[in-house]
Amino acid sequence: MGKEPSAQDREPRYAAIKRHIRDKVECGEWPVHFRVPSENHLAREFGVSRMTARRALSELTDEGVLMRTQGLGTFVAEPVPAGSLLEVRNIADEVSARGHSYSSTILLLEETEASAGVARALGLAEGARVFHSVIVHRDNDLPIQWEERYTNPELAPDYLGQDFSRVTPNAYLTRVAPLTEADTTVEAIAAGDEIAGALQVETGNACLQIWRRTMSRSGIVSFARLVHPGSRYRLGAQLRF
């Protein structure tokens, strides 16, 4: 009697059903507005109770993959307009495209415990292990971005082993976990001492601060704080709306 006859270890049954549906949707076999099998149908098909099948459908609905209407059924939802609208580019490519030279300095690269805020952003438990990096990016040797990033170790386990002087975190993460969505918020801040020093601006100078959370198929990949010197990036206090 090797193991309990329970499950194939780890993956809960509702998660297996979710994965199955996700695959059908993403490979295009179930197009937009396609009617997904009903709770009862899925229950029979997977040999689970209706409540378990229901959980899979409900969670996918919360995640925006499906749409449900009482009495009618469950359907494949259209992709969020906001998802495809946001273009996320690599800062190294951007600098190169301007014909400038790109360089960077790694200020910090460690494994640490998630604070409450970071845990929330990454969807992890408080105190969970996360990768933490701080990198300054330069355009023609002039700092143009402070990048502080918290990364989910489960989705990018080799993060700490990367040579970030050769490939940016963004480029690495995009490779190992192709991003499907990003939440971004933008604000103007006054540079604190630490950031002012790293970006070579006066303390108190206006900077453009971008918070970005990138998501992949398999979950939330990373949570980044990007700070640009307003004077040097030609974005600043104007961006209040």
Choose, by CB under 7 A, the member of 70, 89, 99, 185 that binds DNA.
Answer: 70
The distance of closest approach from Cβ of residue 60 to DNA in the complex, given in angstroms and rounded to an integer, is 11
Q: Which does 48 bind (CB under 5 to 8 A by kind): DNA, its own copies, none?
A: DNA
Note whether 209 and 141 are within 8 A (CB).
Answer: no
**Do 119 and 125 contact (CB within 8 A), yes or no?**
yes
Which range binds DNA by CB under 7 A, 52-60, 94-102, 196-204, 221-229? 52-60
Restricting to residues 88-117, name those near its own copies by CB under 8 A. Answer: 88-89, 91, 94, 116-117
21, 25, 30, 57: which one contacts DNA (CB under 7 A)? 57
Q: Does 167 bind its own copies (CB under 8 A)?
A: no
Q: How buried is 241 (Cβ within 10 angstroms: 0-12 exposed, 13-18 middle, 19+ buried)?
A: exposed
Residue type, 127: G
Q: Give least dist CB 33 to DNA, A.
A: 13
Minimum CB distance to DNA smaller for 105 or for 115:
115
**Angstrom distance (rounded) from CA 34 to CA 32:** 5
Query: Among the candidate windows 3-11, 111-119, 193-201, 206-214, which touches DNA by CB under 7 A?
Result: 3-11
One DSSP character per residue, 31-51 reads -TTPEEPPHHHHHHHHT--HH
Residue type, 50: R
Residue in the block written with tokens 């996320």: 88
| Part of the chain binding DNA (CB under 7 A), chosen from 11-19, 26-34, 116-124, 182-190 | 11-19
Residue 178 is a binding residue for its own copies (CB under 8 A): no
Q: Using CA atoms, how far apart are residues 64 and 28, in angstroms rounded to an integer? A: 16
Length of the chain: 241
Q: Does the footprint of its own copies cover residue 187 (CB under 8 A)?
A: yes
- Site size with DNA, rule: CB under 7 A: 28
Tell me which residue of 103, 107, 96 sits closest to 132, measured CA to CA. Answer: 107
148 touches 109 (CB < 8 A): no
**142: contact with its own copies by CB under 8 A:** no
- Per-residue contact string for residues 71-110; x = within reach of DNA by CB under 7 A: xxxx------------------------------------
